[in-house]
Amino acid sequence: RLVKLRKLQPPIDVLALTQQYADVKLLRLPVDADGVCLDLKVRNKRPTIFVNTGRSEERTRFTLAHELG
């Protein structure tokens, strides 16, 4: 839906797109997780997405897209 709504064309800058909807923190997480989104359903609060930089570039891109979805 977002691709259609925004009329996006490949290649899509997933990081820049995600940053339009949430604060994104790229860091090495001390747990075995690819990423996590906080405050997603908190009224009047912008969500924050933490992405584990200890993963491959492809996995990081997938995680950003997943958390955005």
What pLDDT, in 10s, does the model give residues 49-69? 999 999 999 999 999 999 998
Amino acid of residue 3: V
Considering the entire predicted model, what is its pTM?
0.86
Q: What is the mean pLDDT of residues 21-43?
A: 94
pLDDT at 1 over 90: no
DSSP H stretches of helix in 1-69: 2-6, 14-19, 57-68
The two three-digit tokens of residue 20, written as one number = 């339009």
